[in-house]
Amino acid sequence: MNLREEKKVLERIVIVGSYLKNGNHQEFEDLLEETKLLAKTANLDTVNVFTQGLPKYKSDSYIGKGKLSEINEYCKVYNVNTLVFVDNLTPSQAKFISKYTLTNVVDRTELILSIFAMHARTSISKMQVELAQLEYSYSKLRNLWQHFSRIVGGVGTKGPGESQLEIDRRLVQKRISFLKDKVNTLKKVTHEQRKNRENFFKIALVGYTNAGKSTLFNTLTKSDIYVADELFATLDSKSKILFNNETKIILTDTVGFIRNIPTTLVSSFHSTLTDVIDADLLLHVVDASQSGIEARIHEVNKVIKDIHADDIPKIMVFNKIDAIEGITSKFLLKSISLSYNNSIYISARNKTNIAAITAKIQEMLRLKNNEKKITIPIELKSLISFLDKKYSGSKKLYLEENESYEYTLSISESEFAEIKKQIDKYHELQFINS
């Protein structure tokens, strides 16, 4: 039986969120909805939601103390022991709330990490999650340790509490470095495996969690990998080879992104994200049926930039068009997609317009095959500004040793010949003048 079919509701929780009164309320609503889905994915039963608009964030208690008392009363009556927060909390906020309400306090990162822990299947992803969890709690504990050693130890003294804290700290550090070593060794193995893919055209499916990446992967490869209306259904990349006449294409499904993704997770999952970094083409899958499309695109682009994959050509795939309701939403989507060069509307589940993706991939392949590298001395300023304008978004590298730019361009033969002529002429003049 699939492990995920055995799910039981484990714990009753209350979700808590505060927002700025003069902030973007729709964004907060989206965050709240997302937290509910995260909680559902983590097998938690949300029995109530408490929110409060504030003139400014509360650094000590996160939410007003009156509201905390109200939550406290509710939890006592309805026998709820855990509060889940829509945001991350500082160590002192978490400590304060936990003491004030006598409940377990779970913040956004901890909730996400618990889902990652539930969904981890392979040994590398299990270790990556444990590493991220330890690093996150370590960063929180470090503040408490500092606090304790100030009150227990004082200057020049060594209290009994301090030595226990020291032992705990050393144990955690030891486990962290053990896991880091292990993960690095496994990374090397996967790196070796990846080397065999060098002759493939590598396509990676990227996007916000629940966008429909795995559904599209299944549709494109006629596979049957796990798809679910839950967050972070996929943690381990999954690849499959496709054939396109002579070119071998390798398609990879990857872990989904989320706003305010815990930084420890990004670094722990770096080896999984290598599939994205190594790709020749990204299919950025977007759930077009939900509000907050642009915010989610923005979050995904942020991670892509963080891992230095932002110069990889990209196709924007607006998915779930079957579920878009109302003409206004359709117009909104149209206006969003207009700002992207390559965008396609599909329904991965209903297999609508899949041919458009295959056609676009063929087009990108042709472009890649026509790609040419051109090295242009920095003195040829007008040629450089012409190329920057015409081929904005193409790869451009500064070569320090010969003071020139190297462009990788998908360019016609005639234009390539024309540019080469200008460069040759420049070098000829240099030679005559030397």
Ligand X SMILES: Nc1nc2c(ncn2[C@@H]2O[C@H](COP(=O)(O)OP(=O)(O)OP(=O)(O)O)[C@@H](O)[C@H]2O)c(=O)[nH]1
- Interface ranges with ligand X (CB under 6 A): 207, 209-215, 227-229, 231-234, 256, 319-320, 322-323, 347-350
Q: Which residue, 357 or 411, has its beta carbon nearer to ligand X?
A: 357
Nearest approach, Cβ of residue 350 and ligand X (Å): 6
Nearest approach, Cβ of residue 252 and ligand X (Å): 12
Nearest approach, Cβ of residue 116 and ligand X (Å): 11
Q: Which residue, 103 or 254, has its beta carbon nearer to ligand X?
A: 254
The entry of Mg ion, ligand X, none that residue 314 binds, CB within 5 to 8 Å by partner kind: none
The entry of Mg ion, ligand X, none that residue 103 binds, CB within 5 to 8 Å by partner kind: none
CA 394 to centroid of chain Cα atoms? 23
Q: Which residue, 225 or 356, has its beta carbon nearer to Mg ion?
A: 225
The entry of Mg ion, ligand X, none that residue 228 binds, CB within 5 to 8 Å by partner kind: ligand X
Q: Which residue, 94 or 279, has its beta carbon nearer to Mg ion?
A: 279
The entry of ligand X, Mg ion, none that residue 31 binds, CB within 5 to 8 Å by partner kind: none
Nearest approach, Cβ of residue 162 and ligand X (Å): 44
Q: Which residue, 17 or 256, has its beta carbon nearer to Mg ion?
A: 256
Nearest approach, Cβ of residue 185 and ligand X (Å): 26
Instruction: Write down the residue that tokens 């540019």 correspond to.
Output: 419
Please, are residues 209 and 228 in contact by the beta-carbon 8 Å criterion?
A: no
Q: Which of 104, 354, 340, 119 is nearest to 230 (CA)?
A: 119
d(C-alpha 61, C-alpha 93), whole Å: 5
DSSP class per residue in 50-68? EEEEESS-BTTTBS-HHHH
The entry of Mg ion, ligand X, none that residue 232 binds, CB within 5 to 8 Å by partner kind: ligand X
Q: Which residue, 233 or 273, has its beta carbon nearer to Mg ion?
A: 233
The entry of Mg ion, ligand X, none that residue 131 binds, CB within 5 to 8 Å by partner kind: none
d(C-alpha 244, C-alpha 246), whole Å: 6
Strand partners, 44: 11
Q: Which residue, 93 or 319, has its beta carbon nearer to ligand X?
A: 319
Residue 303 vs residues 1, 188, 213, 217, 322: alpha-carbon distances, Å: 35, 23, 16, 21, 28
Q: Given the DSSP bridges, would you call strands 395-399 and 82-85 parallel, antiparallel or unpaired? A: unpaired
Nearest approach, Cβ of residue 40 and ligand X (Å): 12
Q: Which residue, 85 or 208, has its beta carbon nearer to Mg ion?
A: 208
Nearest approach, Cβ of residue 324 and ligand X (Å): 9
The entry of Mg ion, ligand X, none that residue 17 binds, CB within 5 to 8 Å by partner kind: none
Q: Which residue, 172 or 242, has its beta carbon nearer to ligand X?
A: 242
Please, are residues 199 and 249 in contact by the beta-carbon 8 Å criterion?
A: no
Residue 234 binds Mg ion, judged by CB under 5 A: yes
Nearest approach, Cβ of residue 238 and ligand X (Å): 10
Instruction: Dig out the tokens for 158 from the structure.
Output: 């060594």
Residue 93 binds Mg ion, judged by CB under 5 A: no
Q: Residue length, the chain?
A: 434
The entry of Mg ion, ligand X, none that residue 212 binds, CB within 5 to 8 Å by partner kind: ligand X
d(C-alpha 61, C-alpha 403), whole Å: 56
Residue nearest to ligand X (CB): 256
Nearest approach, Cβ of residue 301 and Mg ion (Å): 19
Binding mask 182-221 for Mg ion (x = CB under 5 A): -------------------------------xx-------
CA 406 to centroid of chain Cα atoms? 30
3-state class (DSSP) for residue 238: strand
Give the burial class of 304: count Cβ atoms within 10 A of its Cβ; 0-12 exposed, 13-18 middle, 19 or more buried.
buried
End-to-end Cα distance, the chain? 78
Name the CA dihedral angle for 260, 264, 266, 269, rounded to a multiple of 10 degrees: -140
Residue 233 binds Mg ion, judged by CB under 5 A: yes
Q: Which residue, 14 or 348, has its beta carbon nearer to ligand X?
A: 348
Helix (H) / strand (E) containing 189: helix 160-195
Q: Radius of gyration over alpha carbons of the chain, in Å?
A: 26
DSSP character at residue 6: G
Nearest approach, Cβ of residue 210 and Mg ion (Å): 8
3-state class (DSSP) for residue 375: strand
d(C-alpha 358, C-alpha 244), whole Å: 10
d(C-alpha 20, C-alpha 105), whole Å: 21
Count of residues that interact with Mg ion, criterion CB under 5 A: 4
The residue range among 49-57, 117-125, 232-240, 338-346 that interacts with Mg ion, by the rule CB under 5 A, is 232-240
Residues at the interface with Mg ion (CB under 5 A)? 213-214, 233-234
